[in-house]
Structure 1
Amino acid sequence: MEIKLTNKEKQYISEQMESGRYTSPNKFFSEVLLIHSLYSNEEHTLLKKQILKGWDGRNSKLTIQDLINFYKTH
């Protein structure tokens, strides 16, 4: 797999390696992917909770058109 990085991204990775936190770019990207996975899973869990909260909540007298109009103006 080939990944193209900007000079700024390359510099950041170099700085992280120079700090001693990572011994190679592979270790850096392994942690980046782990953090991304954890973040994505957390976002999915929070979204699911909010959907269930709305689903189980009280009914609204608003129509779909009311909601569309509201979001168009805000």
Structure 2
Amino acid sequence: MPKKVVRESVALYDAKTPLSALVDRAAAGEEIVIMKSGYPMARLVPMEDTRYLLIPGQGRGLWKVTRTCDEPLPDSVLD
């Protein structure tokens, strides 16, 4: 059975001040729809995966920087 989603609509003007509280509620599992002029414009939903996409040191040893990396480029490349 699909998960039941409860949505609350909030006007953009009314969402400005309590935005931090709305984000906390979305992180807790609620779905909040931001409305502008009566039309839905955006959804605040909880993140499903909060792991970092990049892991520090993950590419260590995969490439090397040579001693000549600071030298000017040859004229053939600059043309």
The TM-score normalised by the length of structure 1 is 0.28
Higher helix content, 1 or 2 = 1
Higher strand content, 1 or 2 = 2
The TM-score normalised by the length of structure 2 is 0.27
